[in-house]
Chains A and B, each alone.
Chain A
Amino acid sequence: MKASRAARWAHWQERLILVLLFASASVSVVTTLAIAISLGVEAIGFFREVPLIRFLTEREWTPLFAIKKFGILPLVCGTFLIAGIAMVLAVPMGVLIATYLAEYASERTRRLLKPVIEVLAGIPSVLYGYFALLFVTPLLQKFIPSLSGFNALSPGIVLAFMVLPTIASLSEDIIYAVPQSIREASLALGATKLQTTFRAVLPAAGSGIIAACLLGFSRAIGETMLVTIAAGQIPNLTLNPLEPVETMTAYIVQVSLGDVPHGSLEYRTIFAVGLTLFLITLIFNLFGLFLRERFIRTFQRFA
């Protein structure tokens, strides 16, 4: 009968759609697996020629030179040096701004300032690199004459402002989410607003703010164009921010722009470096997400 045929067709259409939608959702899981596999396959090829011990402990990184050294330490050090400088600036500023916006600012002030901070997050990183190389470095050189044209200090400072919106925005959400009952209890016991903020609200938000900082740090480590433009392309195992350094991300760009043949050892180095970068950011991201979950769960009782 006609009605039954239409009903059966609708039923199969429903099933088909469900399969398609399920497939779309699975793309995210497939993507993570694809990242692991695509990095892993080439990295394994790399580690068959360069032992892991050498990769982790050798103190020079010169895969593109005649005498090849494969120690990742200079790249990791460069990455962490610049990210470290950025966090030293971004964490205090970000938490201060977040606390002010969440606890003290008027609605009008908050509505005015939040978009301004968001704009900072939307600026392309090539523009940040341009700014660091052609404005910040010359400016710093006036005060520090020994500052090299490519250095770690300039991109570190600029990176701080790149990461600041992430830290400030996430922290502000966290502080806002601290239940009102905690503030009321503190005030009822006779504390002032400042004491309430710093001795009740912020400690309660603690794990959430740490999560925000971890996610910000992960973002700082993964930043590419800013450090490629302003920090230099010479691997350098140093803690001196006045010298040029190369980060893991800048190295990948350097090789990608060059004429390295596919399947060669030099080509595989970008996957080994990429895998290292991926694992480091994964650890920070997962830990940050875990702390955030714990914060939400802790205060679900008070909601």
Chain B
Amino acid sequence: MEVVTAPKVEPEAVRRRRREVLMEWLFLVSAWVALLLTISVLLAILGKLFADGLTRINWQFLTSFPSRRPEEAGIFSAWVGTLYVMFLTAAVALPLGIGAAIYLEEFASRNWFTRLVELNINNLAGIPAIIYGLLGLQVFVRWFRMGESVLAGACTLAIMSLPVIIVASREALRAVPVSIREAALALGATRWQTVRDHVLPLAIPGILTGTILALSRAIGEAAPLVTIGALTFVAFLPKSPLDPFTVLPIQAYNWVSRPQPEFHRNAAAALIVLLALLLLMNSIAIYLRNRYQQRWRI
């Protein structure tokens, strides 16, 4: 009697399946190598920075002006300059950015001008920071005669931050339900009254979040401010917006460009302070965003 055996699986299919498994494994391994490489670089950057500079930070460092001697140098003028520029930038950028966002979201019809504005915003977001520096140099420092001042720096950074603020504000406005607008209009409010009293207050947290994120990007920028004439050795505090100034990233750049390792240590310490400031700002933004999300659940 013949024993019936199960038909053999085709070796071709087995080979294909095995190659398939190998390729998938290869892909996953490559992706994870890339991810781990990225994470390692991040850890290396932070590790090197803290190893080099953390011990340099003390009260003397935070309250001294730059000096030719590295042990006596400090970031007093730099962090004051950073905060001064940041607040002025916010003061200039917020009204312009929110205004533009309100116009685009609440008032504008879809015509060629609106499309032109949107195209410009998208394009401006991709322009290198140093080009904004050249713009600021010509327009703010020379034509508007602001000189190489805090005000010129703030205006330059404000223009640079506008695309991000406008996009974030538009998203925040869009998130407010249409029913709110309809209710206000039904009760007889004009379009501006609707926006000012009903839509805008609900959108403020989202707008603030976007603005803080845009500002945190701006204060890390050295290139545009160097171009408009921010100095690298400032042994005084700017008193008025028309005074010269420096900021943390420029001070760090100045120190890292010197050959002495003691100055490199100062640079690392300055960058740690800058990172701490960035961390603080981003935390505030995230806190605001979480609180904002909770409001809608009610």
Task: Contacts A18-B107, A29-B116, A123-B45 given; indicate if A93 touches B38 (C-beta within 8 A).
Answer: yes
- Assembly CA distance A271 to B130 (angstroms): 11
Asked if B38 and A164 sit within 8 Å, CB to CB, the answer is yes
**Nearest chain A CB to B139 CB, angstrom units:** 6
Nearest-CB residue, chain A, relative to B42: A120
Interface-located stretch among A177-185, A237-245, A279-287: A279-287
Nearest-CB residue, chain B, relative to A98: B31
Interface class of chain A by DSSP: helix
The yes or no answer to B131 lying at the interface (CB within 8 A) is yes
Partner of B39, one of A26, A116, A123: A116
Interface class of chain B by DSSP: helix
Nearest-CB residue, chain B, relative to A18: B107
Asked if A104 and B126 sit within 8 Å, CB to CB, the answer is no
Chain B residues, Cβ within 8 Å of A262: 142
Asked if B126 and A285 sit within 8 Å, CB to CB, the answer is yes
The yes or no answer to B268 lying at the interface (CB within 8 A) is yes
The yes or no answer to A299 lying at the interface (CB within 8 A) is no
- Assembly CA distance A35 to B160 (angstroms): 12
**Nearest chain B CB to A130 CB, angstrom units:** 5
- Assembly CA distance A222 to B227 (angstroms): 14
**Nearest chain A CB to B294 CB, angstrom units:** 19
- Most chain B beta-carbon neighbours within 10 Å: one of A14, A228, A252, A271: A252
Partner of A93, one of B34, B128, B222: B34
Asked if B107 and A21 sit within 8 Å, CB to CB, the answer is yes
Which residues of A73-126 are within 8 A (CB) of B?
A: 92-93, 96-97, 99-100, 104, 113, 116-117, 119-120, 122-126
Asked if B95 and A24 sit within 8 Å, CB to CB, the answer is yes
Nearest-CB residue, chain B, relative to A41: B138
Asked if A218 and B126 sit within 8 Å, CB to CB, the answer is yes
The yes or no answer to A274 lying at the interface (CB within 8 A) is yes
Asked if A122 and B216 sit within 8 Å, CB to CB, the answer is yes
Asked if B191 and A14 sit within 8 Å, CB to CB, the answer is yes
The yes or no answer to A57 lying at the interface (CB within 8 A) is no
- Assembly CA distance A38 to B120 (angstroms): 17
Partner of A249, one of B95, B223, B268: B223
- Assembly CA distance A24 to B252 (angstroms): 35
- Assembly CA distance A18 to B96 (angstroms): 13
**Nearest chain A CB to B266 CB, angstrom units:** 11
Q: B-side interface residues toward A, CB under 8 Å?
A: 20, 23-24, 27-28, 30-32, 34-35, 37-39, 41-42, 44-45, 48-49, 52, 95-100, 102-104, 107-108, 116-117, 119-124, 126-135, 137-139, 142, 159, 162-163, 166, 190-193, 216-217, 220-223, 226-227, 229, 232, 249, 252-253, 256-257, 264, 267-268, 271, 274-275, 278, 282
Instruction: Using A28-B100, A96-B30, A123-B45 as known contacts, list a sample of 11 further A-B pairs with CB atoms less than 8 Å apart, ordered by residue number in A.
Output: A31-B135, A31-B159, A93-B34, A122-B278, A125-B223, A126-B271, A129-B253, A192-B24, A222-B127, A249-B128, A274-B131
**11 cross-chain CB contacts under 8 A:** A24-B99, A27-B100, A97-B38, A99-B27, A124-B221, A194-B20, A249-B130, A252-B134, A270-B227, A278-B128, A282-B127
The 8 A-B residue pairs with the shortest CB-CB distance, nearest first, are A222-B128, A24-B99, A124-B220, A38-B138, A100-B31, A21-B103, A224-B223, A93-B34
